[in-house]
Structure 1
Amino acid sequence: MKAATQGAYGGPDVLELTDLPTPTPGDGEVLVRVRAASLNYADWLFLTGTPYVLRLAAGVRRPRNPVRGTDLAGVVEAVGPGVTAHRPGDEVLGEGVGAFAEYAVAKVAKLVAKPAALTFEQAAALPMAGLTALHGLRAAQVKAGDRVLVNGAAGGVGSFAVQLARHQGCVVTAVCGGSDELLRSVGVDDVIDYRSRDFTREDSRYDVVFDNVANHSLTNLCRVLTRHGTLLPNSGRGGRWLGSLPRIVRGTVTSLLVSQRVKTFLSTANTADLAELVALAESGAVVPLVGRTYPLAQVADAFAHLGAGHARGKVVISG
């Protein structure tokens, strides 16, 4: 099979299209013929191998798994031992291993049926970013009437966060650069263009700030929260060695000193939450926003676009 592989850590130029054996599904796994796969910022971190702490899990000198990609949508090609939830020919979406390839293996526990209402590209855009937004808002315990600000609202996680917050009856402010029309089309109440306005210097206060960018200090972000508001820091950006870990530690300490909460959260795929997202997408309450699509042969170009930091919606590999 064709797969986009990396033999070393680095930029998009380390990726090349190569021939690899088609993987075999193990217990509780299925083999998926990948029809679409989306990029996440986590893919960029593992491509570059930064922060260096990631290499303890991914491989110190070079990646143990040379094929990047987690989010996928496609057709089940074969099933492993003990699998009864899916069978060959089923259309599925979820998280797998090595999705930037013609075939990938995925655990049944991280897959759900793809609805006919979604294209393969939309379905592939849903899992990691949608779940991160869902789990973050759940951690913040948002409720109807809450004022929610999403920093980095036009990106993958942000575009889902604004829609999920609106679905829950929140008043949503989106911070982005020149994506007013896109975000207002999904029901955002107010859009702040960071190029001309700094929301941390304005008088508005929010019950929840969902920060996907980390371009403001924790002190300034907490300043725009209500007395008992919640800050959700969600960014992999940070130092070369430890990434966002120092910022997370500072956030935990800050929570002990102020009335607001700095809430860190962990997002992992599971069928129940994937099914919830799929139901919302099927009903039209959430629309996966696909920004650009690339063929598998141009996966390096897709990473370059993502790494530039100005992607709108999700970047998807379509095949």
Structure 2
Amino acid sequence: MFTRLREDIATIRERDPAARSAWEVLTCYPGLHALVLHRLAHACWQGRRRWLARFVSQMARFMTGIEIHPGATVGRRVFIDHGMGVVVGETAQIGDDCTIYQGVTLGGTSLTRGAKRHPTLERGVIVGAGAKVLGGFTIGADAKIGSNAVVTKPVPAGGTAVGNPARVIVPAAASVSAASVPAMATAVGASANGSASAACNTAANERAASNDAVRGGNKRVTERSDFCAYGITPNADDPVSLAIHGLIDHAATQAKRIDEIVVALERLGTSLEGLQGADAALLDLRRLSAAIAGKVDGTVTEER
């Protein structure tokens, strides 16, 4: 028990720069308190003392604002940051080294008693603030769920899910096996066509491996990839947002081009008002384009 507690404190101090000391973490971090009480509730649940387990869970909810069903499985070194409003369902499974922010719901969409109704988070998953992960599917290792995303489908390992409903962004830089090359080629081709900007460099950096037990005064050695607070990763933009920004940039470019045409017309002695009548039909668009490019001497002939 104390080994797990030391691991939890070390994890919080590693991932939260606001944590100044182990004593501060032990006494002032509700995420840590919720996890400790959940272990007690889960032990009662496993021992078929179901009412006692639910009562301990309810007390933990009252004290911390974090509701974890005693039937849920929580791994090692899980960090619940801030934590207010976090809800974890009965059949949810949270792997080692996961990070969960405030307002997260790991919920179910099925009413079938005894079924796997809640999601499974594999090792190293980060779930941003306000995200909802709903259903009995799996979120792959080192995946990231953006803040306020609503995820109802599986997310592959190393991927990032954003939006409502969530869209999965496959990482651009990933170490892939020969069997996964065709899938990555398809993703790259889609990106080349402008459908999305694939991004996430976390799949290449594996979350680690550690000497879990702390014995004989030896410290746990853990190799971790760069931690991404709130699931924010470089270049991991929402494809829809990218498309909208692309349209805005295109409109701005067109407006700039029109301004250049107007300036060129005025330089050539022709005004837009003069082009509104019959003279507009006499305008040679090719010569106008050449004039804008500086390929003619700046005079417009009146003969076609």
Q: Is TM more than 0.5 here?
A: no
Higher Rg: 2
Higher relative contact order (CA 8 A, sep 6+): 1
Q: Flag the structure with higher strand content.
A: 1
| Higher share of residues assigned helix | 2
